[in-house]
Amino acid sequence: MEPFVLKNQSILTIESWCKQFPELIAGFTTKSGGCSIGDYESLNLGFHVNDDGLNVCSNREKVAELLKFPLKSWVGAEQIHDSMLKKVTKADRGKGSNSYDDSFKGTDGFYTDEEGILLTLCFADCVPLFFIAPEKKMIGTAHAGWKGTVGQIAKQMISSWGREGIKPDQIFVAIGPSICDKCYIVDKYVINFVENTLEDGGVLPYNLLNEGQYSLNLRELNRQILHAAGVPDENILVTELCSSCNREEFFSHRRDHGKSGRMLSFIGWKETSDRL
């Protein structure tokens, strides 16, 4: 069953997690329901793609309303396809929420165990990873394109949480809407990095199509990395939703030849006081 379920035209949530934990807000946006125009039509949430900044802010306010999670409590990053993670606290709230300038530099993942912070990252084909360790109230999200994936950002999150006293079998992961293997054709240069990442004996996450052309399943590669890091297979949810195949629903950097908006991954605990 598809773990990411449409709640309204703009928001997909990780349904099983959100049902189990009513205070959890976790999911991914679509490209619908915003006010941006042209290549960014309509719910572009990325500041860095040359869209009108006022429209991006308006779109972010719209998502904040839908999630009932105020924009001033979000954090955002300048993502660089690396594997640097940042643990954030309430003191960080608002950084990168309504401007790119004060976002976290060189950061491709966030985690926190505090309430009232919405962790957000931008996507258009790269793989959004979502993490939760309910017993410790730890949550996280990470950005895994091919570079972040072979840089093992997924494993970095498991290792970081290990230093917080969290065991891999206490961690649940959801792998979100991103480019599928049929749409993601790469060359041998990328596959060489993938091969260095693989454990012996696993199912190959890529197929040779033609001389020097491969289809690569980044979601499956991330799943294998999480498995190797000790996360039980039954703890991992994997989407079937492709950002490139679903033209009506998602932006796709590759399909749209580099001119496109960005969707947002989000995860946060509502503040206890919000529920009173």
Residues that bind Zn ion (CB under 5 A): 180, 183, 242, 244-245
Phi, psi dihedrals of residue 225, rounded to the nearest 5°: -65, -40
- Closest to Zn ion by CB, 139 or 242: 242
- Closest to Zn ion by CB, 119 or 180: 180
CA dist., res. 116 & res. 114, Å (int): 7
Helix and strand element counts for the chain (H, E) = 6, 15
Burial 44-78 (b: 16+ CB within 10 A, else e): bbbbebebeeebbbebbebbbeebebbbebbbbbb
Nearest distance from residue 38's CB to Zn ion, in Å? Answer: 23
Amino acid symbol at 19: K
The dihedral through the CA atoms of 71, 96, 108, 242 has a sign that is positive
Peptide bond into 260 cis (omega under 30): no
Helix (H, G, I), strand (E, B) or coil at 64: helix
Nearest distance from residue 237's CB to Zn ion, in Å? Answer: 19
- Closest to Zn ion by CB, 26 or 221: 221
Nearest distance from residue 181's CB to Zn ion, in Å? Answer: 8
Nearest distance from residue 127's CB to Zn ion, in Å? Answer: 13
Helix (H, G, I), strand (E, B) or coil at 116: coil
If phi over 0 gives left and psi between -120 and 50 gives alpha, with beta otherwise, what is residue 266? beta
Please enumerate in sequence order all residues whose Cβ is within 8 A of that of 39, keeping only pairs 6 or more positions apart, or say none: 256, 259, 260, 261
- Closest to Zn ion by CB, 255 or 270: 255
Nearest distance from residue 182's CB to Zn ion, in Å? Answer: 5
Nearest distance from residue 240's CB to Zn ion, in Å? Answer: 10
**Are residues 262 and 42 in contact, defined by beta-carbon separation less than 8 angstroms?**
no
Nearest distance from residue 243's CB to Zn ion, in Å? Answer: 7
Nearest distance from residue 1's CB to Zn ion, in Å? Answer: 19
- Closest to Zn ion by CB, 138 or 180: 180
Amino acid symbol at 227: H
Strands 236-238 and 206-210: unpaired
